[in-house]
Amino acid sequence: MALVAKPPTREDYAMRRSTSDRLVTLGLALVALLWVGPYLWMVATSFKSLDELVRAPAWPIPSHFRLDAYREVFATLPVWRYTLNTLVMAALIGALQAALALPAGYALAKLTFRGRRPAFLMVMACLMIPPQVTFVPVFMMLGPLGLVNTMTALVVPFAVSAFGTFLVRQALLAVPNELIEAARLDGAGELTIIYRILGPLVRPTLAAMFLFSFVYHYSDYFWPLMMTTDDHVRTLPVAIALLREQGTGVRWHIVMAGNVVLTLPVLVLFVLAQRRILRAVTARGLS
Amino acid sequence: MSLRPTKAFHPYAMLAPTLVLLGLFSIVPLGVAFHRSFFAWDLLTPAEPVGFDNYRFLWSSGELLEVGWRTLAYSVVVVSASLTLGLALALALNREGRFYAFVRSAVFSAYVVSWVAVGLLWLWLLDPQAGLVARVTRGLGWTPVDWLGNPKVVLFTLAGVTVWKITGYAMVIFLAGLKDVPRSVLEAAALDGAGPWQRFHRIVWPLLRPTAAFVGTTSLILSFQAFDIVRVMTQGGPVRSSTIFVYAIYEQVFVNLRIGRASALTVVFFLLLVGLTGLQWRWWRNRPRAKTTL
C-alpha cells in the first residue's frame, strides 16, 4: 500500500504564510529600529549631563532633561549666524540654478542656431566633473583674487548645474512650439516667454531642482570646508563638525546637541515635504 | 522641429551665463590641474617645473596603488551591500500600510540628513569606551571590536556607515522600478503555481535589472567621491588606513602643501571617474523607462 501524502490544505498555506509574514514584519521592525534608534540616541544624549554620560553612558533615558548642552552650543558658536549663512548660500544656489537653467534649456531645446550641438555636449561633459575634481584648482584660482572666505566662493561655482540644465531642456522639449509662436505673435519678448510662460509650465522640474539643490547644499560639508578658513562665512555643517575636533573627547552631549541643531530642520523638512523630496530624487535617477 | 530665434544673438545670450560659469568652474579648473601637475609648488614659494616627477612619485612610492585599492575596496563593499539591502527592503516594503510607510521613511531619512550629522552620530555610537555599540557588545560578554582604531577594520566600518546612509536611495529607486512590474502578471504567475522565488527570478528581476545597473553605477561613482565621512570620522587614519582618493588629494593640499602632487592625483582621479562614467553611460542606454512593455 502506497503511502499517499495528504495534500496540503488551505489552512496549511495560510499558516505558512502567516509565519513567514511575521518573520518579515519582525525583520522590518528591526530595520526601523536600526535606522531610527541612532536618531533617538542622539537626542537622548543631548539632554544628558556630562556626569551622567560618564557614570551610565548606556542608559537610554536621561535622568533629568537638561538643556545645558544646548546652552553651551549656542554660547560657544554663533549658531544663528551660521544658520543664516547656510540658508542664504543654499537658497541663492537653488535660485540661481533655476534662473539660469531656464534660458539655457530653452535655447538648447527650442532654438536653431550654429553651435547648438557643441553647447549641449559641453553641458553634458560637465556632468563628469564633480567638485571633488575642481576644488584644488578653484582654490588656487580664487586665492589670488581674494575670494577665499567669501559668499562668492561658496555660491558662484554652483550657480549653474549641468544636470539641472539638462533636466530643464528635457522638460521644455515636451512644450509645443505653437505655444511659443503664439506668444511671439502676441508681441511677447523672449524674456517674457522664458520666465512668464515656460517657467510656470516646467514648474515641477524647477521645484524638484531647487529642493534637491537646497537640501544638498544646506548639508554640504566639502565645499565650504575647502573654501573657508575662518568663521566669516562659515556654514553650519563645518561649525558643528568643529565641535568634535575642539572637544576633549568625552563631551559627547555637546556634540550631539550640535548635531540635533544641525539635523532637526532637515528632518522636519523631510517629514513635511517627503513626497516632493522623493519625487526630486527619483526624477534625478530616472529621467 | 525647432524655432528660429527672433534675433540671431538671442540663443548665445541665453546660453552665455551657463557656458561661461561651466567653463570657469568645471573646464578651466581641469586645465589648471593638468598644468599644475607638472610643477612642484607649496603655495608660498614660486612654482618649479618638474616634468612628470609628480606622477612618477605617486607611482613609485606606491601611494597611487594604495589609495586606489582602498577606494576600490570601500566602493565595492558600499555598492554591493547597499544594492542588496536596498533591493531586499524595496521588495519587502512595496505595499500599502502605515507600518511599511514608516519603515520606508526611516530608512530613506538617512539619505537626506547630512554626512556630517551621520559621521558624528556614528562616531559617538562606535566610541570604544562609552559608545553604545561597545557597551552592548560588552554586556553580551563579547570583546568589543575597535571599529575605528583598528587599521584592518576601519575601512569597512566607514563602508558600513555609508551603507546605512545611502541604502535608502537604492531602496527608493528600486521601489520606483517596481511600479513598472505589472501586478496582473505576478498574480497570473502565482495562479500558475510560481513560488515567490520563481516570481522574483523570472519576472521581477529581469524588469529591475536596468534599475539595478543604474543604481549600481551611480553609487559606484558617488562612493569614489567620498570624503566627508572620512574627514569627520577618521581623518584618513589610523596610519592612513582609511585615506581614500579625495581625502588623499585634500591631504596633499591642506596638510602637506604639495599642490603639484595634489594636481597630479586630481588628474588621475578625473580619468578614473571618466572611465566609470563611460561604464555608466553604457548602462544608461538601457536605463529604466517609465513604461515597460512586457
Tell me whether 0.90 is exceeded by the ipTM.
no
pLDDT over threshold 60, residue A1: no
Residues 256-285 of chain A whose Cβ lies under 8 A from any Cβ of chain B: 256, 258-259, 262-263, 266-267, 270-271, 274, 277-278, 281-282, 285
What is the phi/psi pair of residue A147, to 5°? -100, -5
Strand partners, B48: B40
- What CATH number should be reported for the domain holding residue A245? 1.10.3720.10
Pick from A146-155, A238-247, A265-274 the range whose average pLDDT is largest: A146-155
Which set of grid coordinates corresponds to residue A133? 575634481
Strand partners, A180: none
Strand partners, A184: none
H or E, element range at A1: none
Averaged pLDDT for residues B38-50: 85
A262 three-state secondary structure: helix
CA distance A191 to A195: 6
Which set of grid coordinates corresponds to residue B10? 538671442
Q: What do you get for the CA distance between the two ends of chain B, in Å? A: 32
* Residue B235: other Cβ atoms inside 10 A: 16
H runs (alpha helix) in B49-126: 53-60, 63-93, 98-112, 115-125
Contact B26, A141 (CB under 8 A): no
The total of structural domains in chain A comes to: 1
Task: Single out the residue of B134, B112, B254, B83 nearest to residue A252, CA to CA.
Answer: B134
B285 three-state secondary structure: coil
Taking the Cβ of residue A119 and every Cβ of chain B, the question of whether any pair is shorter than 8 Å is answered with yes
CA distance B147 to B156: 9
Contact B116, A240 (CB under 8 A): yes
pLDDT over threshold 60, residue A105: yes
Task: Please report whether residue A2 resides in a domain.
Answer: no
CA distance B107 to B172: 9
Q: pLDDT-based confidence at A8, cuts 50/70/90?
A: low
* Residue B62: other Cβ atoms inside 10 A: 9
Query: Which residue in this structure is represented by grid cell 541643531?
Result: A261
Kindly report the nearest CA distance between residue A56 and chain B, in angstroms: 9
Task: Please report whether residue B87 resides in a domain.
Answer: yes
Amino acid, single-letter form, for residue A72: E
Query: pLDDT tens for residues B90-144?
Result: 999 988 889 999 999 999 999 989 999 999 999 999 988 888 888 888 888 888 8
Amino acid, single-letter form, for residue B92: A
Residues 153-212 of chain A whose Cβ lies under 8 A from any Cβ of chain B: 156-157, 159-160, 162, 165, 177, 180-181, 184, 190, 194
Task: Please report whether residue B279 resides in a domain.
Answer: yes
DSSP 8-state class, residue A156: G
Amino acid, single-letter form, for residue B12: Y
Taking the Cβ of residue A141 and every Cβ of chain B, the question of whether any pair is shorter than 8 Å is answered with yes
Task: Please report whether residue B13 resides in a domain.
Answer: no
pLDDT over threshold 90, residue B218: no
Averaged pLDDT for residues B253-273: 92
* Residue A204: other Cβ atoms inside 10 A: 13
Taking the Cβ of residue A241 and every Cβ of chain B, the question of whether any pair is shorter than 8 Å is answered with yes
Taking the Cβ of residue A63 and every Cβ of chain B, the question of whether any pair is shorter than 8 Å is answered with no
CA distance B99 to B84: 22
Of A103, A130, A274, the CB nearest to B225: A130
Query: Residue B65 has what pLDDT?
Result: 93
Amino acid, single-letter form, for residue A49: S
- What CATH number should be reported for the domain holding residue B213? 1.10.3720.10
Averaged pLDDT for residues A106-130: 93
Query: Residue B286 has what pLDDT?
Result: 58
Torsion on CA atoms B241, B246, B250, B256, rounded to nearest 10: 50
H or E, element range at B39: strand B39-40
Amino acid, single-letter form, for residue A165: T
Query: Residue A265 has what pLDDT?
Result: 87
Task: Please report whether residue A30 resides in a domain.
Answer: no
Give A151: exposed, middle or buried? Use CB within 10 Å, 0-12, 13-18, 19+: middle
Task: Please report whether residue A35 resides in a domain.
Answer: no
Query: Which residue in this structure is represented by grid cell 522623493?
Result: A278
The DSSP result for A213-246, as a single string, is HHHHHHH--HHHHHH-SSSSS--HHHHHHHHHHH
CA distance B19 to B46: 32
The domain of B81 spans: 51-284
Query: pLDDT tens for residues A50-91?
Result: 878 777 766 777 777 788 889 988 988 899 999 999 999 999
Task: Please report whether residue A50 resides in a domain.
Answer: no
Q: pLDDT-based confidence at A246, cuts 50/70/90?
A: low
The DSSP result for A169-187, as a single string, is HHHHHTS-HHHHHHHHHTT
The domain of A217 spans: 70-286
Query: Residue B51 has what pLDDT?
Result: 87
The total of structural domains in chain B comes to: 1
Angle between helices A252-272 and B98-112 (to 10 degrees): 120
H or E, element range at A281: helix A274-286
pLDDT over threshold 70, residue A209: yes
Q: Per this entry, what is the length of chain B?
A: 294
Task: Please report whether residue B5 resides in a domain.
Answer: no
Task: Single out the residue of A8, A174, A60 nearest to residue A106, CA to CA.
Answer: A174
Q: pLDDT-based confidence at A9, cuts 50/70/90?
A: low
Averaged pLDDT for residues B247-258: 91
A48 three-state secondary structure: coil
Task: Single out the residue of B154, B155, B203, B146 nearest to residue B180, CA to CA.
Answer: B203
CA distance B165 to B168: 7
Which set of grid coordinates corresponds to residue A48? 544628558
Query: pLDDT tens for residues B56-85?
Result: 998 999 889 999 999 999 999 999 999 999
Q: Search chain B and give the residue with CA nearest A23.
A: B92
Share of chain A above pLDDT 70, in %: 90
The residue among B199 and A283 whose pLDDT is bigger is B199
Query: Residue A82 has what pLDDT?
Result: 92
Q: pLDDT-based confidence at A16, cuts 50/70/90?
A: low
Q: A25 and B99: CB-CB below 8 Å?
A: yes
Task: Single out the residue of B207, B121, B223, B124 nearest to residue B166, CA to CA.
Answer: B223
HSE at residue A173, side-chain half, CA atoms within 13 A, is: 8
CA distance A249 to A254: 11
Q: Per this entry, what is the length of chain A?
A: 287
Of A194, A244, A250, the CB nearest to B123: A244
Which set of grid coordinates corresponds to residue B139? 554586556
Task: Please report whether residue B7 resides in a domain.
Answer: no
Query: Residue A284 has what pLDDT?
Result: 62
